């Protein structure tokens, strides 16, 4: 229980109020983020079975990652957990992007258009 004199010492403007630590309110400056890491922070949990997964993906490239993880969990009980789904999704996404081929006739997003050509055509018209 706080006594009356302790309560008075904690009043704003008192000597104790001015000498209190402020370490919780000050923030330490951080280094700016330099970009994505290229190194692994943990060993790859799917390194041993990645060849099997690639074969499955080549047979059925549209299979869902959750199904692949469930199949791995059935084949290798207690080796793969549900929490590793996102890791597997990243690996499958990278595999799909590496195999993708640009299709002719596909309309690209607006960000990929050379805007300088559009400006010169509009100014000459």
Residues contacting 44, CB < 8 A, separation 6+: 50
> Is pLDDT of 78 > 80?
yes
Report the SS3 class of residue 72. helix
Q: Where are the domains of the chain?
A: 64-99
What is the DSSP secondary structure assignment for residue 33, as one 8-state letter?
P
Is pTM beyond 0.75? Reply is: no
Contact (CB, 8 A) for 54 and 95: yes
Report the percentage of the chain scoring pLDDT > 70. 64
Dihedral of CA atoms 57, 60, 64, 69 in degrees, nearest 10, equals: -50
pLDDT at 105: 75
90: phi then psi, degrees, rounded to nearest 5: -65, -40
When computed from its CA atoms, the radius of gyration of the chain, rounded to whole angstroms, is 29
Sorting pLDDT into bands at 50, 70 and 90, what band is 29?
confident
Residues contacting 3, CB < 8 A, separation 6+: none
């Amino acid at each position: 229980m706080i006594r009356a004199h302790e309560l008075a010492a904690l009043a704003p403007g008192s000597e104790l109020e001015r000498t209190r630590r402020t370490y919780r309110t000050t923030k330490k400056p951080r280094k700016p983020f330099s970009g994505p890491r290229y190194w692994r922070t943990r060993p790859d949990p799917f390194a041993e079975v990645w060849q099997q997964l690639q074969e499955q993906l080549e047979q059925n490239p549209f299979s869902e990652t959750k199904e692949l993880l469930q199949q791995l969990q059935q084949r290798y009980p207690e080796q793969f957990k549900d929490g590793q789904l996102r890791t597997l999704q990243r690996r499958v996404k990278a595999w799909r992007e590496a195999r993708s081929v640009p299709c002719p006739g596909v309309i690209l997003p607006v960000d990929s258009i050379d805007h300088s050509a559009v400006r010169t055509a509009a100014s000459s018209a």
